[in-house]
Amino acid sequence: MVAGPLPTRSGPGKDRLRLWIRLLRASRTIETELRERLKKEFNTTLPRFDVMAALYRSPEGMLMSDLSRFLLVSNGNVTGIVDRLVSEGLVARARRNGDRRTSMVRLTEEGSKTFAVIAAAHEGWIGELLGTVSEDEARRLTGMLTSFRSNWEGRE
Amino acid sequence: MVAGPLPTRSGPGKDRLRLWIRLLRASRTIETELRERLKKEFNTTLPRFDVMAALYRSPEGMLMSDLSRFLLVSNGNVTGIVDRLVSEGLVARARRNGDRRTSMVRLTEEGSKTFAVIAAAHEGWIGELLGTVSEDEARRLTGMLTSFRSNWEGRE
DNA sequence: ATATGTTATTTCAAGCTTAAAGTTTCATAT
DNA sequence: ATATGAAACTTTAAGCTTGAAATAACATAT
């Protein structure tokens, strides 16, 4: 789903529109490839990988709302993905003493081991898929996107 | 769904991994905003907008497989979205004389008018959302992403 | 203590998405 | 003409995604 209207027209907003379309097509292309490999090699999905990646960074655990905010997806969405990870034994919900509305979500021992393996492959894939971008260019691109991001956060 | 594992680690693939995470976060952020506005202002969705945008570029119509290839999504996916657009009167399937397996999909008169209005708003939104990226920077970023894209297409 | 509002999470309905299987039509070789 | 395979599309099952409604627990003001 990456069309963008009238990319060949000219006008004031032309360059930004074109940038948006490229951005979207690039990320969709890579995402599709990653999804296929995760499925084929590890029988998992991109959303599950993303949740595990977030939890791997926080051994102490994360609240559902932390996950949702960090991953830029809705609350209800995270519930379903975590449910499936729990049923696979990769993630656990731990009730907290203080606030009984919340629960700390964290990787299980098995989840942590499993993720480490997948993450190593994932990093290799990214290196391969973005191989045509030089490391230097990657840094410059990242810089531009980062400044966009921080400006964005300032406004919203 | 935009985590990315261990973005703070260092190593050979570090810069490309970081780039990928930024790319994904940027496109998800913009996508979310566009989706909300399309829903609120025009009561439509991003996938429907994308299909209409593709058809708007081809007044003669497109095959389902053209749409699917152009939008980088699966065949079955397009079927459902076009079904809904047809039921809304914005798109029509026209049986062809030659090949009875295929049908040309095109915007109806109403679909074309409707899209023109939405597309104008959409272009304004992009200009606003990417407002912090200068036109010059936008061109450079686009160039880098384009070269990635064409290299990619060479391999797959 | 009780009411009122807020926060964290889940549930729900609708729609999007994919991969795989199924259908129909076309193309080609015998 | 008939079989065999390929192509275009749809259907299906499972999972992802959102926004909105529902639930439960907490916080605050009376």
Over residues A16-49, the pLDDT tens digits come to 999 999 999 999 999 999 999 999 999 999 999 9
CA of B7, C1' of C20: distance in angstroms: 35
CA of A99, C1' of C3: distance in angstroms: 21
Helix segments in A46-108, DSSP class H = 46-57, 64-71, 75-87
Domain A14-148 grouped into CATH 3.40.50.1370: no
Residue pLDDT, tens place only, A73-110: 999 999 999 999 999 999 999 987 789 999 999 999 99
Which value, to the nearest 10 degrees, does the dihedral of the CA atoms of residues A94, A99, A102, A104 take?
-30
Which value, to the nearest 10 degrees, does the dihedral of the CA atoms of residues B38, A141, A16, A150 take?
60
Inter-chain CB proximity B53 and A141 less than 8 Å? no
The phi and psi torsions of A103 (rounded to 5 degrees) equal: -145, 145
* Pick from B28, B94, B9: nearest CA to B59: B94
CA of A37, C1' of D6: distance in angstroms: 27
Mean pLDDT over A109-130 rounds to 96
pLDDT-based confidence at B83, cuts 50/70/90?
very high
* Pick from A44, A81, A78, A52: nearest CA to A64: A78
Give the C-alpha separation, B19 to A145, whole Å. 8
pLDDT-based confidence at B143, cuts 50/70/90?
confident
The pLDDT, as a whole number, for residue A90 is 98
Name every residue whose Cβ is closer than 8 Å to that of residue B17 and which is 6 or more positions away in sequence.
Answer: A123, A126, A127, B4, B5, B7
Question: Which chain B residues have a beta carbon less than 8 Å from that of A25?
Answer: 72, 145, 149
The pLDDT, as a whole number, for residue A5 is 62
**A148 contacts B132 by C-beta, under 8 angstroms:** yes
**A44 contacts A84 by C-beta, under 8 angstroms:** no
* Nearest CB to B5 within list A5, A70, A122: A122
Instruction: Please check whether strand D approaches the CB of B94 to within 7 Å.
Output: no
The pLDDT, as a whole number, for residue B151 is 63
Give the C-alpha separation, A31 to B100, whole Å. 34
| The pair of three-digit structure tokens given for residue B116, joined into one six-digit string | 């023109």
Inter-chain CB proximity B20 and A30 less than 8 Å? yes
The pLDDT, as a whole number, for residue B120 is 96
Question: Which chain A residues have a beta carbon less than 8 Å from that of B32?
Answer: 72
Mean pLDDT over B110-132 rounds to 95
| The pair of three-digit structure tokens given for residue B134, joined into one six-digit string | 């200068």
The pLDDT, as a whole number, for residue A154 is 55
Name every residue whose Cβ is closer than 8 Å to that of residue A131 and which is 6 or more positions away in sequence.
Answer: B16
CATH number of B16-140: 1.10.10.10
Q: Output the CA angle B119-B63-A28, nearest 5 degrees.
A: 60
Higher pLDDT, A134 or A115: A115
Nearest chain A residue (CA) to B124: A13
Instruction: Please check whether strand D approaches the CB of B43 to within 7 Å.
Output: no
Which value, to the nearest 10 degrees, does the dihedral of the CA atoms of residues B52, A6, A149, B140 take?
150
